[in-house]
Structure 1
Amino acid sequence: MATIAVTGHVNLTAASVAPVEEALRTLLAGYPAAELTGMSCLAPGADTVFGNAVLSLGGRLVAVLPSDDYRARMREGPDVVAFDRLIEAAAEVEVMPYRRAGTDAYAAADRLLLGRAELLVAVWDGGPGGRQGGTGHTVAAARARGLPVEVVWPAGAARQDPARGKRRRSSPISPARQDRT
């Protein structure tokens, strides 16, 4: 059984979704469907794209929710629709013992993901890790545990800069470099 967890940016641009999903499908297609388990917090962006890729390949999806109010904190619209669809399709749903989402809840979810996974897939532009529970922080925690990390950041991937509402293409990781680090 291959258990693969995901971390990644929530603010992917709309144009990034297709190349990211294609890169994830290519990576995950190397695992037999009957042996593929994908673990995700199902946040908007990379987590949702990963969940879709796992299910499209016939894999098993495990949702790890940081808190009881996790869904309620999402903005109504496409993100909630995608979340609900993935929760319905998940083979298993684990909810961390927190009533409200926050740093501790996200850290607990990350610890569970990293503790069960054989591989962490990071949909990550390589930017510095900031807050606990963020993509860079999760990658650093995985590496500190000795967990293999596969960085996926294909050509054309970009993030929306939430502070400015503009597209951000920061890409310290070469688009062609989707290797295990």
Structure 2
Amino acid sequence: MTRIGITGHSNLSADSVPLVRAALAEALAPYANGDLTGLSCLARGADQLFAEVVLDAGGRLEVVLPSVDYREAKVKPDNLDRFDGLLMRSALVRYMPHRTAGRTAYEDANEAVLGGIDRLFAVWDGQPSDGKGGTGDAVEAARGRGVPVDVIWPEGARRE
């Protein structure tokens, strides 16, 4: 069983989405032998693309939500159907012990993902984080604990 987590930008440009999806599918292909489990917090952008690609590859999806109110507080109305669809297709949903979304909840969710994986996929443009639990921080944390990181940023990808 291979367990792969995701970290990545939530603000991918619309024209970057197919590029990132294809790059994720290519990166996951070696693991798509029926023993793949993907861990995602289901944030908009990279997290949801990864979740879809894992499911399309026949893998198992596990979701880590930062807080009990995450859906109501952070999922925008135009993203609810996609979020709910992925949530319903997940094999396991784990909530962090926080009532409300916020920095500590996100840090705990990232920690839960990092603690349960064999490798991390990072849909990342290589820019440093602002110190608030962003993609760069997750990459640094994974590397610090010896978790292999695959940076996925295809040619032409950009953030909004």
CA distance, structure 2, for counterparts of residue 156 and residue 20 of structure 1: 9
**1:104 aligned to 2:104?**
yes
Other-structure match for 1:170: none
AA in 1 matched with 2:77: E
1:51 corresponds to: 51
- Partner of 1:76 in structure 2? 77
Q: Deviations over 1:124-158 (max 9, x none)?
A: 00001223321011001101111110000001211
CA distance in 1, matches of 2:20, 2:65: 22
What amino acid sits opposite 2:65 in the alignment?
A: L
State the 1:115 CA deviation: 0.5
- Structure showing greater radius of gyration is 1
Q: Percent identity?
A: 50
Equivalent in the alignment of 1:155: 155
TM-score, with normalisation over the residues of structure 1? 0.86
Residue 23 of structure 1 corresponds to 23
Q: How far apart are the structure 2 equivalents of 1:67 and 1:26?
A: 32
Aligned partners of 1:122 and 1:152 also within 8 Å? yes
* SS state at 2:38 partner: strand
Whether the 8 Å contact between 1:132 and 1:138 is mirrored in structure 2 is no
In structure 2, C-alpha distance between the alignment counterparts of 1:32 and 1:121, rounded to whole Å:
15
Residues of 1 paired with 2:133 and 2:40: CA distance? 13
CA RMSD of aligned residues (A): 0.8
Aligned partners of 1:91, 1:41: CA distance in 2, in Å? 13
Q: How does 1:1-181 map to 2 (within 5 A)?
A: 1-73=1-73, 74-77=75-78, 79-160=79-160
Alignment gaps of 5+ in structure 1: 161-181
**SS of aligned partner of 2:4:** strand
**Greater helix proportion:** 2
Higher RCO, 1 or 2 (CA under 8 Å, sep at least 6)?
Answer: 2
Question: Equivalents in 1 of 2:108, 2:129: separation in Å?
Answer: 17
Q: Tell me, what secondary structure is at the counterpart of 1:104?
A: helix
Gaps of 5+ in 2: none
Aligned residue pairs total 159
**3-state SS of the aligned residue for 2:157?**
coil
